[in-house]
Structure 1
Amino acid sequence: MKLITFLIALCFVIQKPNTQKIEKNNDTGNMSFELIKEKIIIPVQIGNKTFRFLVDTGGIFEISEEVQNQFNFNQTKSITIVDINRKEVEIKSVIVPEIKLGNWSFKNRKAIVSDLHSKYPYSCFELDGMIGRDFFDKVILHFNYATKTFRLTENEHIIEVNKSNRTKMKLSHRGLPNLQLRLNGKKEYIEFDSGSGDFYSPKTNNVEKRLTKSNTNKALKFTGEFSFGVSMDDIKISNRYKEKVKSLQLGSTTFNDFYSQFSKISAPRIGARILKYGAVTLDYKNGWFYFKPYKPNQKIEPFKTFGFDVAIQNGYYKIKWVLDNSDAQRLGMRSGDKVLSINNVSTNNIDEDCFGYLNGYSFKNKQRITVVFLNNQGIEKSIELEKIVFE
Structure 2
Amino acid sequence: MGIGETAYTRRSGVSELALAVEASRRALEDAGLNPDDIDGLIRNDFDTVTHNDLAHALGITDITYWGLNGAGGSAAPGQIAQAVAAIESGQATTVLVYRALNGRSGSDRYGQTRRGLDGPNTVGGNGTYDEYFLPYGLAAAGQVYAMVAQRHMIEYGTTSAQLGSLATTIRKRAETNPRAQMGHRAMTLEDHQNSRTISQPLRLFDYCLETDGACAVVVTATDRARDGRRPPVLIRAVTMSTGAEPKGGVVFPSLFRDEYTTFPSKQAAQTLYSRAGLGPSDIDVAQFYDCFTITALVQLEDYGFCAKGEGGPFAASGAIDLGGQIPINTSGGHLSEGYIHGLNHVVEGVRQMRGESTGQVPNASTCLVTGGSPAPTSALILRRDQ
Same fold (TM > 0.5): no
- Indicate the structure whose relative CO is greater, using CA pairs within 8 Å and at least 6 residues apart: 2
In terms of fraction of residues, the more helix-rich structure is 2
TM-score of the superposed pair, with normalisation by structure 1: 0.28
In terms of fraction of residues, the more strand-rich structure is 1
Q: Which has the larger radius of gyration?
A: 1
TM-score of the superposed pair, with normalisation by structure 2: 0.28
